[in-house]
Structure formats: C-alpha cells, structure tokens
C-alpha cells in the first residue's frame, strides 16, 4: 500500500465516498492508518481529551504535540491538523502559525474554520504553499456553549450565502471543505457546484465524504449527550469498564500478578 495522495482523494469526488476520523495519539493513529483516507488531528481534543467545555482553550502547542504523535505513526492516510482558536486572526499570524504546525507535525493539510472574513486568509496561505482545508456551516470555535449549536442552511438566504462562501473558498485555493450541520439540500447543492470534495459532519450522505470524532463512534463518555449526527459503532467504554473491574477484583483476590508476571 502506498501513501495516499491528494490527487487520489480528488479523484474520488462523485465516485467513492471519502472517509475521515479524528486521532490524537499514536495507538489510534496506527489503527486508523490505511483504513480511512484522512486522519484529522482535531481541536475536538479540547473536549474529548482535556475535558474542556468548548474548543477555545486549545493551544497551538497542544495541536503541535498531538499532531506530531499522529503523523509520525501514519504511513498511508493523509493527515489534517486543526488550527486552534485565535491563531489565524490575520494573514501574517495565520501563515506563521500554519508554518509552525506543518513544520513541526509534518501534516499534509491545516484546517481552519472559515467565513467571509477568512477567505483572504485562505488565499494567502494557499499562495504561500500551505494546503488548506476550509470548514463552513457550524464552526465550533465560535461557540462558548455547544448546547446553542443548531443546524444551518435551511432558509433560502442562508443557503445562498453558504453556496457563495463555498465557491469563494474553492477559488481561494481550498483543497477540501468540511460542511458541518448543514441542511441536506444545501449540502447537496454545495457538493454539486464544487470541483473539490466536501467532507460532511451532520450534513447528510450527499457530501463527498464523512468525518466523525473517534471517541463518538467508539462510545467514550456515554454520559455526555451526543449530537444527532453521531452513530456508535461499538461500545469501548463498556469493554474498558469490564476490564477495569476484572483487574481490580483479580488484584484484590491476590490472583494477579502470578509467578509468570514476576521477574526472578
């Protein structure tokens, strides 16, 4: 198996769905590598790994360190690293921090949450040889309280604005566009008018690909209410809980460690 290329991902548009999951560590990266097309080192690590209420507390150093751990253990999939909140407020800041992330992690793309104000930043990064993944629709970095997040693109006016934004981001040089919590019809229209792939999260099957947070598909943190678009594919939390209880009982009953687990 060879390292996936952007050309190969681009060729999948309208032909084969693109797969993407998040990873924040070596073990998960090694499991995902080659199984999904894209591995996203997302700033969602703020809530999933560090227990933050939103992603605004995620730092560049966090993204650097988790990014390097993932990319270093990824041989076949392409990698995308999020630029955290307040690290791309202007062109120069964006380019400086994007270069820091790319040079340190060796990721293939940086992802930024985009609106009309950041189109010029996308173009500036692209002009300076940075591969950019744009992110439109619901952009979590704009929310202090995730409970206030609602789907977008239902009204004609909103639909038109999202279509225009997506088109402008493609023209600015975006390599891919993430569509989050966008109305089905709007997501379909955006996907159809673009020549670059769309990656959906809560934006229907009409996107060129799908992304989810790894913790969500594994059902970690089952006490946290998950968004409508999340689907559990297993119950790792339950399996871990059983293993921990078994370990504790075995130790208390002095059945572990046995002789074979001890050094002579």
Catalytic site residues? 180
Residues 66 and 81: their CA atoms lie apart, in Å, by 9
Which among 167, 111, 147, 172 is positioned nearest to 224, based on CA atoms? 147
The C-alpha atoms of residue 171 and residue 157 are separated, in whole angstroms, by: 21
Closest C-alpha to 41, from 224, 211, 217: 211
In the chain, the largest separation of any two C-alpha atoms, in whole Å, equals: 74
- Contact (Cβ atoms closer than 8 angstroms) between residue 2 and residue 19: no
d(CA 118, CA 229): 27
Q: Decide: 213 and 42 in contact? Cβ < 8 Å.
A: yes
156-171 helix and 184-193 helix, angle to the nearest 10 degrees = 30
Please give the Cα distance from 236 to 211 (Å, whole number): 19
Helix H or strand E encompassing 167: helix 156-171
């Amino acid at each position: 198996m060879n390292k996936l290329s952007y050309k190969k991902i681009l060729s999948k548009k309208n032909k084969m769905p693109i797969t993407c999951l998040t990873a924040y560590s070596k073990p998960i990266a090694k499991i995902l590598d080659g199984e999904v097309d894209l591995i996203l080192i997302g700033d969602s690590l703020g809530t999933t790994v560090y227990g933050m209420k939103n992603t605004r507390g995620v730092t560049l150093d966090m993204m650097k360190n988790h990014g390097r751990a993932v990319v270093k253990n990824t041989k076949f999939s392409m990698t995308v690293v999020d630029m955290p909140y307040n690290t791309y407020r202007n062109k120069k800041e964006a380019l400086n921090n994007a270069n820091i992330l790319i040079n340190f992690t060796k990721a293939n793309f940086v992802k930024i949450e985009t609106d009309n104000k950041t189109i010029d930043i996308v173009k500036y990064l692209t002009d300076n040889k940075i591969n950019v993944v744009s992110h439109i629709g619901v952009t979590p970095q704009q929310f202090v309280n995730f409970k206030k997040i609602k789907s977008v693109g239902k009204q004609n006016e909103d639909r038109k604005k999202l279509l225009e934004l997506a088109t402008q981001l493609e023209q600015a040089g975006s390599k891919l566009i993430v569509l989050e919590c966008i109305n089905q019809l709007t997501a379909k229209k955006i996907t159809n008018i673009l020549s670059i792939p769309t990656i959906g999260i809560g934006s229907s099957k009409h996107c060129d690909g799908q992304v989810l947070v790894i913790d969500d598909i594994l059902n970690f943190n089952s006490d946290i209410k998950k968004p409508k678009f999340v689907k559990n594919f297993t119950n790792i939390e339950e399996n871990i809980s059983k293993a921990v209880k078994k370990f504790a009982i075995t130790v208390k009953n002095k059945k572990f460690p046995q002789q074979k687990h001890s050094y002579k």
